[in-house]
Structure 1
């Protein structure tokens, strides 16, 4: 399985290199999203008055919107002929693990870019940078896992983006709640950081649960 996953990861990377306009479009979408937020705040004279709570909320909303557009293509770009070809060469577990791993890293990189843009235009209220960096790994990566799983389901319904949004909502909601609560504590010094252990456990557990469910359920979906 290890060799299959490596081969599939190389395939994903080659597809991205062939469709560079797709990556460029996603990055442009992210920059445009943050720029629109900046313009709205400038009109209300709130850029320099943006507190950590609003910074936190706007940051994760922007990452969420970008993740929908970035990960939706995961199975959308695969035709039925390509999926049949993959079906004959690789196990379904290797396919879903490779796509999830690739999208996990991809979303983490996009979240880092979003953090950089927010820091440049709105300042950086984060006090515990290391903790926030880890939060991006499990938080943005978790969004990548969820949307990869939902994208695989939506692909069997004609890549219906509306269906993808509906299915992802009940799964995304608990993850977002944990992310917003945990990241709000990351902005604090001292006692605020002592109450995050249970939230970290919940966040990591959600990532493991999503990955496990995908590995278990995808083979049944794959056979359809």
Structure 2
């Protein structure tokens, strides 16, 4: 069964590479998620190693640019690796940040307890002030993708229903390597989640591939429910 999943992933690789990415365009101006120097223009922003999109992409690009110009990329990298780990291990924190009953001051207290740098805290505070708390998890994911690319790595997250044996892991790495650019190193994080029932979920770069049995059952259930 795992071999079939890897074949499916290989097919997904081909389809993903056929999709061309568009460049991040447009001035940040007054809508910039982070303060920019007076008179600054989009051209003055430091170019991120990969293009990211959406609202969280704008926040991430602005933070990356600010950190790059202040030589604080290593510090920001450490902050978001820590944040990613904390949010993965303790989903209650995400719920607290999203809870409308939690005040701004309470959110900031939680944030201060995480031991992050001032620049990272400022970026997240702006996220909160703009009532984008629900974007925090995605923002952290996008920033970690940017920082991995800055280290010359391709960040991959793989979820399986049970641990992979050595043979399956080597085959998986071989397939994931096809997503990487020349000289880019794979950084694969594997997680076991029995609730997906089988198959795998793969997040590689900005691509999300769900080949889990649970997602297929849901799709079939939705079809049956719709037809009733």
TM-score, normalisation: structure 2 = 0.30
Q: Which has the higher strand share?
A: 2
Give the greater-gyration-radius structure (CA). Answer: 2
The answer to which structure, 1 or 2, has the higher relative contact order (CA under 8 A, 6+ apart) is 1
